[in-house]
A and B are shown apart, each in its own frame.
Chain A
Amino acid sequence: MSAEPTVAGVGGPIVAHPDQGEGEHAHPGATNLLTKYVFSTDHKVIGVQFLFSSLVFFAIGGALAMAIRWQLAWPWKPMPILAKWLWSAPALGGQMPPEFYNKLFTMHATIMIFFVVIPILTGAFGNFLIPLMIGARDMAFPKLNMFSYWIMWPGFVLVVWSFFVEGGSAEAGWTSYPPLSTQPRAAPGSLNGQTLWLLALLCAGISSLTGSINYITTIVMLRSPGMKMLRMPMTVWALFITALLQAFALPVLTSALLMQTLDRVAGTNFFSPVAGAVANAPAVVGGGAPLLFQHLFWFYSHPAVYVMILPGMGIASDVISTFSRKPLFGYKPMVVAMAAIAGLGFIVWGHHMFQSGMNPALGATFMLSTMMIALPSAIKVFNWIGTMWGGRIQYTSAMLNAMAFVSMFILGGLSGIFMAATPVDIHIHDTYFIVGHIHYVLFGGSTFAIFAGTYYWFPKIFGRMMNEKLGYVHFALSFLFLNGTFLFMHIVGWHGHMRRIPDPTVYEFLRAPGIVWMNQFMTICAFGLGLTQFLFAGNFFHSLFAGPIAGPNPWKANSLEWTTPSPPPHYNFNTLPQVYHPPYEFSVPGGEDDFLPQTRPLPPNITLDPVMA
């Protein structure tokens, strides 16, 4: 199979590309087990490595979420099983210590963001798909690529290790605001856990940065003949824009993390006006500013939320077009909208700081720019619906998850408007409203996109099909439990339920029967949601070994990765494919089939609308 130049009947005329081939980007095929599956420079292996390691961390992050929910529904009730071996000290009586709760949500969020969603969306999908979709043989810098995966490992190890050091893991929230995070005595976890947290994030940051440089270079330099920028699949566009975001924003986070590390270990005071003020230690003038950290942190982390959603938008676009058997509605407006989201993403960070003590005059400008960012998001939603309109929708597991992405993104996007409105944000800031919003965007959005992408590309990655029936059950349960878990967070949030508190019943107004009931309902749904993921894991691993053989193009899709065998051989393409049009030419009138791979020219009677396609 892999010896054939192109897949029979799918490939078009073959044109050699002078810049590529056996030139400087070529590297020899792997020869032994270690270089093939472990220290591989092949982008496909690296993508799979990212996928597997992050899925493991997904399970860890999910388990922490369950523990959080248990405590909120039944505060201080000993947790079954876990209580026995996690905090066995008799003085605690099986109750979770409050600082442990702080570790739980800190590490849950850190793991989910920096070790699950970003690595899967950019590391796994980015690595696997970019060269295949643009018709390249590998990334521009294969060794750097391997480095970007292996530098994650110190990060992975530090995160797990930090639970076991003296004082336990970090507990200052994933936002890690100083001085709570810099004063060693402010919290038990700011002893060593916080330093390990900082180092782990630095590793993840280096990984993202090297990855981004690779993606940008690869997309700019290594597209196959005819693959103009405006013929790239939306997934590649999304990953390209994401990489640009990372490349511009990450250095700022990196410097903030380094400064915080210095504050902790070298006695500097970038972020503390007074040194050693905690726990009655004598105050010394420090001269730093806590708000400086917040500005630096959000200057990165706001764009980072787009890093977590843009690739999902790309995946949803590809999947929805394929399974509607229809061209993507408004290809160019979709690209422009993504670029606009990214561009505006850099001038809205202040909306995380409306109540921080920042000059309130800035609130007005940040409110306007934040409202404006909702606009390109709205355009995307309308275009996805427009893509389905008039189509021939095939309900595959991938499609269901992509449609759920759209549905959940609508709710997550709309709840963002409440926070953008500065006066309303006064009340809902730092409440469960925010947590509800985060999860509609990150679970309903990013995670459903990860599911959609996995169901969709699994056959290409592993050469086997996943079980669709199991996929349906997994989808239906996830979708319902997700709404059950996160919808009421908005309501308890606007009722004033603070986030990051292990026991809401300390407050009288949170002892209302409705609130108690909702907290318990959410927890039950959360456990349902967590358990449902075993269906996904089971399906994944069963299909890996026993799924039906997929063939090169099981979904009859158009983009280049489907013109190679599944899984693609080392080097992807024997001869670089010639590209004739964007990947969304489905149901072309007069065509013998309802799809038209990018390697085959359009029929002569069809001309594409220059503005829309």
Chain B
Amino acid sequence: MRYWSLIFALAAAFSVGAFAYAPFSADWWLPNPAGEPRHVVSTFGREIDALFVIILWLTGAVFVGTHAALIWAQFRYADRVDADGKPARPAQYFHGSQRLEVVWTIIPAGILVFLALYQMDTWANIKFRSAAPRTPVLAELTGRQFQWMMKYPGPDGRLNTPDDLFTVNDLHFVKDRTALIHLKSADVIHSFFLPQMRIKQDAVPGMTIPVWFDCDRAGRYELACAELCGWGHYKMRGDVVVHETEREFQEWQAAKLAEQGRSQLATAPGDPGGDEK
């Protein structure tokens, strides 16, 4: 009967094994654009990943410790009978230990308070200490069933002027430059999710929420919707292009503007053809 403890040991080993293998495989770890394990392309992303790893180590240690105790107790204290069917060893009679109770209250409390305080700093860096909300806005981004509509200030650098640039599901910004967007929703709640940059923020109707992020590697990334927003939620996908230089970004913008100028007569800006079912 004591071998029932092995099934618990098996499950625990399976869990620890999977989590321990994960960092060595690009597919099993936090999403990264370069296909290399343990790589993230944004400043805050690096902080978040470091915290993630710390929590993984701490909880992993607690998991192993508690499971070792649990499995040992199951194995060591399994009921066994001697030759004449009597219990080989009676159970001990005790109701607990105040000292142990105090110890296993204080130690986890210490760990948890440490974790909470340790996180606060990053949270404050991301949400409060950043100068980003005061930088010029990169774009106004509106979630709508089921697309991301972006409005960039045109050459005059100001939003809501005739030279604004409109795109759909196409977010562009420049490497190593903090990008600030104003997030809105035109209908239901959506959520702006940049998995590779560890950014997520709900877009709520009636609110304009500033979101900022950066990226230190030029390339193409993905933008997802992370909040259930209807039947097309799963395909509310956008492209993110991070340009190597400011000039490259300007060139893209100029080309787009020219394109938009040609098509402006055909479709009104802001209504880039609904994706209704």
Other-chain contact of A274, B30, B87, B96, B206 (Cβ < 8 Å): B206
CB distance from B192 to the nearest CB of A (A): 9
- Of all chain B residues, the one with the shortest Cβ separation from A102 is B231
Docked CA distance A594–B91 (Å): 9
- Of all chain A residues, the one with the shortest Cβ separation from B18 is A487
Docked CA distance A431–B92 (Å): 46
Q: Does A612 contact B (CB under 8 A)?
A: yes
CB distance from A420 to the nearest CB of B (A): 8
Other-chain contact of B199, A97, A426, A611 (Cβ < 8 Å): A426
Other-chain contact of B204, A356, A383, A395, A415 (Cβ < 8 Å): A356
Q: Does A179 contact B (CB under 8 A)?
A: yes
Docked CA distance A431–B229 (Å): 15
Docked CA distance A392–B15 (Å): 28
Q: Does A391 contact B (CB under 8 A)?
A: yes
| A426 engages B48 (CB within 8 Å) | yes
Q: Does B252 contact A (CB under 8 A)?
A: no
Known: A410-B67, A507-B224. A364 touches B231 (CB 8 A): no
Specify which chain A residues have a CB less than 8 angstroms from the CB of B77 in the assembled complex. Answer: 324, 388-393
| A382 engages B104 (CB within 8 Å) | yes
| A418 engages B55 (CB within 8 Å) | yes
Q: Does A576 contact B (CB under 8 A)?
A: no
Other-chain contact of A379, B97, B104, B113 (Cβ < 8 Å): B104
Q: Does A195 contact B (CB under 8 A)?
A: no
Query: Most chain-A CB neighbours within 10 Å: which of B19, B56, B95, B233?
Result: B95
Interface size of B by Cβ–Cβ distance < 8 Å? 104
| A423 engages B123 (CB within 8 Å) | yes
Specify which chain B residues have a CB less than 8 angstroms from the CB of A514 in the assembled complex. Answer: 25-28
Specify which chain A residues have a CB less than 8 angstroms from the CB of B256 in the assembled complex. Answer: none
Specify which chain B residues have a CB less than 8 angstroms from the CB of A417 in the assembled complex. Answer: 55, 58-59, 112, 115
Q: Does B90 contact A (CB under 8 A)?
A: yes
Specify which chain A residues have a CB less than 8 angstroms from the CB of B27 in the assembled complex. Answer: 495, 512-515
Q: Which of B155-163, B170-178, B182-190, B260-268 contacts A (4 or more CB under 8 A)?
A: B182-190
Specify which chain A residues have a CB less than 8 angstroms from the CB of B95 in the assembled complex. Answer: 327-331, 584, 608-609, 612-613
| A427 engages B232 (CB within 8 Å) | no
| B30 engages A363 (CB within 8 Å) | no
CB distance from A547 to the nearest CB of B (A): 22
Q: Does B84 contact A (CB under 8 A)?
A: no
Known: A186-B187, A400-B4. A371 touches B93 (CB 8 A): no
| B89 engages A495 (CB within 8 Å) | no
Other-chain contact of A326, B91, B204, B206, B228 (Cβ < 8 Å): B91
- Of all chain B residues, the one with the shortest Cβ separation from A498 is B226
Specify which chain B residues have a CB less than 8 angstroms from the CB of A326 in the assembled complex. Answer: 91-94
Interface residues of A in 392-438 (CB under 8 A from B): 392-395, 400, 403-404, 406-407, 410-411, 414-415, 417-418, 420-424, 426-427, 429-431
| B196 engages A330 (CB within 8 Å) | no
Q: Does B135 contact A (CB under 8 A)?
A: no
Docked CA distance A436–B273 (Å): 38
CB distance from A46 to the nearest CB of B (A): 35
Query: Most chain-A CB neighbours within 10 Å: which of B14, B59, B120, B228?
Result: B228
- Of all chain B residues, the one with the shortest Cβ separation from A324 is B91
Q: Does A480 contact B (CB under 8 A)?
A: yes
- Of all chain B residues, the one with the shortest Cβ separation from A99 is B231
Specify which chain B residues have a CB less than 8 angstroms from the CB of A513 in the assembled complex. Answer: 27
| B198 engages A427 (CB within 8 Å) | yes
CB distance from A473 to the nearest CB of B (A): 12
Interface size of A by Cβ–Cβ distance < 8 Å? 119
| A188 engages B231 (CB within 8 Å) | yes
Specify which chain B residues have a CB less than 8 angstroms from the CB of A330 in the assembled complex. Answer: 95-97, 101
| B233 engages A501 (CB within 8 Å) | yes
- Of all chain A residues, the one with the shortest Cβ separation from B27 is A514
| B112 engages A501 (CB within 8 Å) | no
Q: Does B235 contact A (CB under 8 A)?
A: yes
Docked CA distance A351–B201 (Å): 14
- Of all chain B residues, the one with the shortest Cβ separation from A483 is B11
| A587 engages B91 (CB within 8 Å) | yes
Other-chain contact of B92, A391, A411, A479 (Cβ < 8 Å): A391
Specify which chain B residues have a CB less than 8 angstroms from the CB of A180 in the assembled complex. Answer: 188-189, 228-230
Docked CA distance A395–B77 (Å): 11
| A494 engages B52 (CB within 8 Å) | yes
Q: Does A500 contact B (CB under 8 A)?
A: yes
Docked CA distance A99–B232 (Å): 8
- Of all chain B residues, the one with the shortest Cβ separation from A332 is B96
Q: Does B200 contact A (CB under 8 A)?
A: yes
Docked CA distance A328–B96 (Å): 8
Docked CA distance A403–B70 (Å): 9
Q: Does A2 contact B (CB under 8 A)?
A: no
Known: A385-B73, A418-B52. A98 touches B231 (CB 8 A): yes
Q: Does B218 contact A (CB under 8 A)?
A: no
Docked CA distance A273–B189 (Å): 12
Other-chain contact of A371, B15, B91, B113 (Cβ < 8 Å): B113
| A487 engages B205 (CB within 8 Å) | no
| B59 engages A414 (CB within 8 Å) | yes
CB distance from A73 to the nearest CB of B (A): 15
- Of all chain A residues, the one with the shortest Cβ separation from B125 is A423
Other-chain contact of B14, A171, A379, A487 (Cβ < 8 Å): A487
Specify which chain A residues have a CB less than 8 angstroms from the CB of B131 in the assembled complex. Answer: none
Specify which chain B residues have a CB less than 8 angstroms from the CB of A501 in the assembled complex. Answer: 233-234
CB distance from B217 to the nearest CB of A (A): 15
Interface residues of B in 17-60 (CB under 8 A from A): 18-19, 22, 25-31, 44, 47-48, 51-52, 55-56, 58-59
Q: Does B272 contact A (CB under 8 A)?
A: no
The 4 A-B pairs with the shortest beta carbon distances in the complex, nearest first, are: A514-B27, A273-B206, A496-B195, A330-B96
B residues contacting A by CB (< 8 A) are: 1, 4, 7-8, 10-12, 14-15, 18-19, 22, 25-31, 44, 47-48, 51-52, 55-56, 58-59, 62-63, 66-67, 69-70, 73-74, 77-79, 87, 89-98, 100-101, 104-105, 108-109, 112-113, 115-116, 119-120, 122-124, 126-128, 145, 186-189, 191, 193, 195-196, 198-207, 209, 222, 224-235, 237, 274, 276
Given A388-B74, A420-B116, 7 more pairs with CB closer than 8 A: A177-B228, A355-B200, A379-B108, A386-B96, A403-B8, A498-B224, A612-B95
A residues contacting B by CB (< 8 A) are: 97-99, 102, 171-173, 177, 179-180, 183, 186-188, 272-274, 277-280, 289-291, 324-331, 333, 355-357, 360-361, 363-364, 367-368, 371-372, 374-375, 378-379, 381-383, 385-386, 388-395, 400, 403-404, 406-407, 410-411, 414-415, 417-418, 420-424, 426-427, 429-431, 476, 479-480, 483-484, 487-488, 490-491, 494-496, 498, 500-504, 506-509, 512-515, 584, 586-589, 594, 608-609, 611-613
